[in-house]
Amino acid sequence: MLLLPMLLILFYSLIKPGNTIVSFQVTLANYVKFFTDKDFLLILWRSLSIALKTTALCLILGYPIAYFIARSPQKLQSTLIMLITVPMWINMLVRTYAWIGILTKGGLVSTILSWFGFQDVDLMYTQTAVLIGMVYNYLPFMILQINTSLSKMDPSLLEAASDLGASPVQSFLRVTLPLSVPGIVSGITLVFLPAVSAFFIPKLLGGGSWFLIGNVIENQFITVGEWNFGSAISVIMAIIMMLLMSLVRKVDSKGKKEAA
Protein backbone atom coordinates (compact mmCIF):
# COMPACT_ATOMS: atom_id res chain seq x y z
CA MET A 1 0.00 0.00 0.00
CA LEU A 2 2.77 2.38 0.96
CA LEU A 3 4.54 1.73 -2.29
CA LEU A 4 1.46 2.16 -4.49
CA PRO A 5 1.81 5.93 -5.12
CA MET A 6 5.51 5.41 -5.82
CA LEU A 7 4.75 2.66 -8.33
CA LEU A 8 2.12 4.81 -9.93
CA ILE A 9 4.63 7.65 -10.34
CA LEU A 10 7.14 5.22 -11.84
CA PHE A 11 4.42 4.02 -14.21
CA TYR A 12 3.43 7.55 -15.23
CA SER A 13 7.05 8.45 -15.90
CA LEU A 14 7.28 5.63 -18.46
CA ILE A 15 4.18 6.38 -20.55
CA LYS A 16 3.18 9.04 -23.02
CA PRO A 17 0.94 11.99 -22.19
CA GLY A 18 -2.72 11.18 -22.67
CA ASN A 19 -2.27 7.47 -21.99
CA THR A 20 -4.43 5.75 -19.37
CA ILE A 21 -3.85 2.78 -17.08
CA VAL A 22 -5.66 0.49 -19.52
CA SER A 23 -4.19 1.70 -22.81
CA PHE A 24 -0.63 2.99 -22.78
CA GLN A 25 2.67 3.00 -24.63
CA VAL A 26 5.95 2.59 -22.78
CA THR A 27 8.51 5.28 -23.54
CA LEU A 28 11.71 6.77 -22.16
CA ALA A 29 10.97 10.12 -23.80
CA ASN A 30 10.33 11.85 -20.48
CA TYR A 31 13.76 10.89 -19.20
CA VAL A 32 15.46 11.82 -22.45
CA LYS A 33 13.74 15.21 -22.30
CA PHE A 34 15.19 15.91 -18.84
CA PHE A 35 18.75 14.86 -19.56
CA THR A 36 18.97 16.65 -22.91
CA ASP A 37 17.71 19.98 -21.64
CA LYS A 38 20.56 22.16 -20.35
CA ASP A 39 18.18 24.29 -18.25
CA PHE A 40 16.84 21.30 -16.33
CA LEU A 41 20.34 19.98 -15.67
CA LEU A 42 21.39 23.41 -14.45
CA ILE A 43 18.44 23.48 -12.05
CA LEU A 44 19.31 19.98 -10.83
CA TRP A 45 22.90 21.06 -10.22
CA ARG A 46 21.73 24.21 -8.48
CA SER A 47 19.37 22.21 -6.23
CA LEU A 48 22.08 19.79 -5.22
CA SER A 49 24.55 22.59 -4.59
CA ILE A 50 22.15 24.68 -2.49
CA ALA A 51 21.17 21.58 -0.50
CA LEU A 52 24.86 20.88 0.10
CA LYS A 53 25.47 24.46 1.21
CA THR A 54 22.44 24.31 3.50
CA THR A 55 23.65 21.08 5.04
CA ALA A 56 27.16 22.42 5.53
CA LEU A 57 25.87 25.62 7.15
CA CYS A 58 23.52 23.64 9.40
CA LEU A 59 26.40 21.46 10.50
CA ILE A 60 28.75 24.37 11.17
CA LEU A 61 26.09 26.31 13.10
CA GLY A 62 24.37 23.29 14.64
CA TYR A 63 27.33 21.44 16.12
CA PRO A 64 28.46 24.18 18.52
CA ILE A 65 24.86 24.81 19.58
CA ALA A 66 24.24 21.09 20.15
CA TYR A 67 27.54 20.85 22.04
CA PHE A 68 26.68 23.83 24.20
CA ILE A 69 23.27 22.34 25.04
CA ALA A 70 24.69 18.91 25.83
CA ARG A 71 27.25 20.44 28.22
CA SER A 72 24.79 22.67 30.08
CA PRO A 73 23.10 21.57 33.33
CA GLN A 74 20.27 19.06 32.98
CA LYS A 75 17.51 21.57 33.77
CA LEU A 76 18.75 24.17 31.31
CA GLN A 77 19.16 21.42 28.69
CA SER A 78 15.46 20.63 28.46
CA THR A 79 14.60 24.34 28.30
CA LEU A 80 17.08 24.88 25.46
CA ILE A 81 15.83 21.81 23.58
CA MET A 82 12.34 23.21 23.88
CA LEU A 83 13.46 26.59 22.55
CA ILE A 84 14.98 24.82 19.55
CA THR A 85 11.71 23.05 18.81
CA VAL A 86 9.41 26.02 19.42
CA PRO A 87 9.54 27.27 15.78
CA MET A 88 8.32 23.86 14.64
CA TRP A 89 5.05 24.49 16.40
CA ILE A 90 4.26 27.05 13.69
CA ASN A 91 3.54 26.02 10.13
CA MET A 92 6.68 26.01 8.01
CA LEU A 93 5.00 28.10 5.28
CA VAL A 94 4.04 30.80 7.78
CA ARG A 95 7.54 30.84 9.25
CA THR A 96 8.99 31.31 5.79
CA TYR A 97 6.57 34.15 5.04
CA ALA A 98 7.83 35.87 8.17
CA TRP A 99 11.32 35.91 6.67
CA ILE A 100 10.05 37.99 3.74
CA GLY A 101 9.28 40.76 6.21
CA ILE A 102 12.77 40.47 7.63
CA LEU A 103 14.69 40.28 4.38
CA THR A 104 12.77 42.56 2.05
CA LYS A 105 13.74 46.14 1.15
CA GLY A 106 12.68 48.33 4.08
CA GLY A 107 12.44 45.21 6.25
CA LEU A 108 14.29 44.48 9.45
CA VAL A 109 17.68 43.61 7.97
CA SER A 110 17.84 46.45 5.48
CA THR A 111 16.71 48.95 8.12
CA ILE A 112 19.45 47.87 10.51
CA LEU A 113 22.04 47.89 7.71
CA SER A 114 20.93 51.38 6.67
CA TRP A 115 22.00 52.68 10.09
CA PHE A 116 25.52 51.67 9.16
CA GLY A 117 25.37 53.37 5.82
CA PHE A 118 24.31 50.47 3.58
CA GLN A 119 21.29 51.94 1.79
CA ASP A 120 18.56 49.96 0.06
CA VAL A 121 19.84 46.50 0.76
CA ASP A 122 17.36 44.00 -0.61
CA LEU A 123 18.15 40.40 0.11
CA MET A 124 14.92 39.05 -1.32
CA TYR A 125 15.12 36.82 -4.37
CA THR A 126 18.81 36.02 -3.92
CA GLN A 127 20.66 32.81 -3.18
CA THR A 128 21.41 34.25 0.26
CA ALA A 129 17.71 34.60 1.03
CA VAL A 130 17.01 31.02 -0.04
CA LEU A 131 19.95 29.78 2.02
CA ILE A 132 18.81 31.72 5.08
CA GLY A 133 15.30 30.29 4.75
CA MET A 134 16.58 26.74 4.31
CA VAL A 135 19.08 26.88 7.17
CA TYR A 136 16.49 28.45 9.45
CA ASN A 137 13.97 25.71 8.72
CA TYR A 138 16.28 22.71 8.84
CA LEU A 139 18.79 23.71 11.54
CA PRO A 140 16.71 22.27 14.44
CA PHE A 141 16.89 18.77 12.92
CA MET A 142 20.67 18.95 12.81
CA ILE A 143 20.92 20.30 16.38
CA LEU A 144 18.58 17.68 17.82
CA GLN A 145 20.36 14.78 16.13
CA ILE A 146 23.84 15.87 17.20
CA ASN A 147 22.65 16.76 20.68
CA THR A 148 21.19 13.30 21.12
CA SER A 149 24.47 11.58 20.34
CA LEU A 150 26.46 14.03 22.47
CA SER A 151 24.26 13.75 25.52
CA LYS A 152 24.34 9.95 25.27
CA MET A 153 28.10 10.09 25.72
CA ASP A 154 29.41 8.96 29.11
CA PRO A 155 31.01 12.03 30.74
CA SER A 156 33.59 9.80 32.42
CA LEU A 157 35.13 9.29 28.94
CA LEU A 158 36.19 12.93 28.98
CA GLU A 159 37.56 12.53 32.48
CA ALA A 160 39.48 9.50 31.27
CA ALA A 161 40.90 11.44 28.32
CA SER A 162 41.91 14.29 30.60
CA ASP A 163 43.39 11.81 33.07
CA LEU A 164 45.51 10.37 30.26
CA GLY A 165 46.94 13.79 29.49
CA ALA A 166 44.63 15.08 26.78
CA SER A 167 43.96 18.81 26.83
CA PRO A 168 40.31 19.85 26.33
CA VAL A 169 40.93 20.37 22.59
CA GLN A 170 42.61 16.97 22.24
CA SER A 171 39.78 15.33 24.18
CA PHE A 172 37.28 16.89 21.82
CA LEU A 173 39.09 15.86 18.65
CA ARG A 174 39.88 12.31 19.76
CA VAL A 175 36.86 11.36 21.81
CA THR A 176 33.86 13.69 21.55
CA LEU A 177 33.94 14.29 17.79
CA PRO A 178 34.36 10.63 16.73
CA LEU A 179 31.61 9.58 19.10
CA SER A 180 29.20 12.15 17.68
CA VAL A 181 29.63 10.93 14.08
CA PRO A 182 26.36 8.94 14.12
CA GLY A 183 24.50 12.10 15.17
CA ILE A 184 26.22 14.12 12.47
CA VAL A 185 25.30 11.54 9.83
CA SER A 186 21.65 11.39 10.74
CA GLY A 187 21.59 15.19 11.03
CA ILE A 188 22.98 15.46 7.49
CA THR A 189 20.38 13.00 6.24
CA LEU A 190 17.52 14.85 7.86
CA VAL A 191 18.67 18.20 6.46
CA PHE A 192 19.90 17.24 3.00
CA LEU A 193 16.87 15.18 1.92
CA PRO A 194 14.20 17.81 2.43
CA ALA A 195 16.56 20.60 1.33
CA VAL A 196 17.20 19.05 -2.07
CA SER A 197 13.51 18.78 -2.87
CA ALA A 198 12.33 21.97 -1.14
CA PHE A 199 10.01 24.00 -3.30
CA PHE A 200 8.21 26.70 -1.39
CA ILE A 201 11.24 28.15 0.37
CA PRO A 202 12.97 28.89 -2.97
CA LYS A 203 9.65 30.01 -4.40
CA LEU A 204 8.88 32.47 -1.59
CA LEU A 205 12.38 33.76 -0.86
CA GLY A 206 14.06 33.13 -4.20
CA GLY A 207 11.18 34.16 -6.46
CA GLY A 208 11.51 33.31 -10.13
CA SER A 209 15.29 33.77 -10.09
CA TRP A 210 15.94 30.85 -7.73
CA PHE A 211 14.07 28.05 -9.34
CA LEU A 212 14.97 24.65 -7.87
CA ILE A 213 14.13 21.11 -8.89
CA GLY A 214 11.26 21.00 -6.39
CA ASN A 215 9.70 23.99 -8.12
CA VAL A 216 10.05 22.32 -11.52
CA ILE A 217 8.23 19.23 -10.28
CA GLU A 218 5.54 21.35 -8.67
CA ASN A 219 5.17 23.31 -11.96
CA GLN A 220 4.88 20.21 -14.10
CA PHE A 221 2.11 18.83 -11.93
CA ILE A 222 0.16 21.94 -11.01
CA THR A 223 0.75 24.63 -13.66
CA VAL A 224 1.78 22.83 -16.88
CA GLY A 225 -0.14 19.64 -16.23
CA GLU A 226 2.62 17.40 -17.62
CA TRP A 227 2.24 14.61 -15.10
CA ASN A 228 4.40 12.21 -17.04
CA PHE A 229 7.38 14.54 -17.24
CA GLY A 230 6.88 15.60 -13.59
CA SER A 231 6.83 11.93 -12.58
CA ALA A 232 10.04 11.28 -14.51
CA ILE A 233 11.83 14.12 -12.69
CA SER A 234 10.55 12.77 -9.37
CA VAL A 235 11.88 9.32 -10.18
CA ILE A 236 15.26 10.79 -11.17
CA MET A 237 15.40 12.68 -7.86
CA ALA A 238 14.42 9.56 -5.94
CA ILE A 239 17.23 7.60 -7.56
CA ILE A 240 19.79 10.36 -6.85
CA MET A 241 18.73 10.47 -3.23
CA MET A 242 18.80 6.72 -2.94
CA LEU A 243 22.39 6.71 -4.17
CA LEU A 244 23.37 9.50 -1.81
CA MET A 245 21.72 7.83 1.14
CA SER A 246 23.39 4.49 0.55
CA LEU A 247 26.68 6.40 0.55
CA VAL A 248 25.78 8.14 3.81
CA ARG A 249 24.69 4.87 5.36
CA LYS A 250 28.05 3.36 4.57
CA VAL A 251 29.78 6.15 6.48
CA ASP A 252 27.17 5.81 9.22
CA SER A 253 27.59 2.08 9.70
CA LYS A 254 31.31 2.59 9.93
CA GLY A 255 30.73 5.30 12.52
CA LYS A 256 28.24 3.12 14.40
CA LYS A 257 30.65 0.26 14.53
CA GLU A 258 33.19 2.57 16.03
CA ALA A 259 30.75 4.09 18.47
CA ALA A 260 29.23 0.80 19.58
Partner 1 sequence: MENAKKKLIQFKNVQKSFGDQIILKGIDLDINENEFVTLLGPSGCGKTTLLRILGGFLEADEGKVLIDGKDISDLPPYKRELNTVFQKYALFPNMNVYDNIAFGLRIKKVSNDIIEQKVMRMLRLIGLEGYEKREITQLSGGQQQRVAIARALVNEPNVLLLDEPLGALDLKLRKEMQYELKRIQQEVGITFIFVTHDQEEALTMSDKIVVMKDGEIQQVGSPAEIYNEPKNAYVANFIGESNIIPGTMVSDRVVRFDDKDFNCVDVGFKPNEEVDVVIRPEDLEIVKPSQGKIKGTVDSVLFKGMHNEVMVETVLGSHVTVNMVIINDSANQKDEGDVHISANDFYLDLEDMKDIQEKDLIARADAQAWNDADEQLSIERVETDLKEELGNYDITFYTQGGLSITKHIRVVDQAVVKNEKKNEAVSAFNFFKTADEIKESVALDTDLKTWANAQAWKLDNEDEGVEVFAEYDFDPENITEGVYPVTFWTKGRELKVHTTKNVEEGAEVGLTFAPEDIHVMEKMGYGS
Binding of residue 191 to partner 1 (CB under 8 A): no
Stretch that binds partner 1, among 54-62, 75-83, 94-102, 155-163 (CB under 8 A): 155-163
The answer to whether 139 contacts partner 1 (rule: CB under 8 A) is no
* Closest C-alpha among 151, 89, 96, 162 to residue 129: 96
Closest separation in Å from C-beta 174 to partner 1: 7
| Residue 106 or 155 having the CB closest to partner 1 | 155
Distance CA 184, CA 141 (A): 10
Q: Which of 20, 14, 43, 32 is nearest to 219 (CA)?
A: 43
**26 vs 11: CA distance, rounded Å:** 9
Q: Minimum CB separation from partner 1 for residue 168, in Å?
A: 8
Q: Judged by CB under 8 A, which stretch of 34-42, 171-179, 184-192, 220-228 contacts partner 1?
A: 171-179
Residue type, 93: L
Q: Is 160 in the site for partner 1 (CB under 8 A)?
A: yes
Contact yes or no for 80/67 (Cβ under 8 A): no
Is residue 251 at the binding interface for partner 1, with CB under 8 A as the rule? no
Q: By CB under 8 A, tell whether 242 contacts partner 1.
A: no
Q: How far is the CB of 142 from partner 1 (least distance, A)?
A: 21
Told to check if 173 binds partner 1 by CB under 8 A, we report: no
Candidate ranges 46-54, 170-178, 203-211, 239-247; the one touching partner 1 (CB under 8 A): 170-178
What is the Cα–Cα distance from 202 to 235, expressed in whole angstroms?
21
- Single-letter amino acid, residue 130: V
Q: Is 169 in the site for partner 1 (CB under 8 A)?
A: no
Three-state SS string across 191-242, please? HHHHHHCCCHHHHHHHHHHHCCHHHHHHHHHHHHCCHHHHHHHHHHHHHHHH
Q: Residues in the site for partner 1, rule: CB under 8 A?
A: 154, 156-157, 159-167, 170, 174-175, 178-179, 257-260
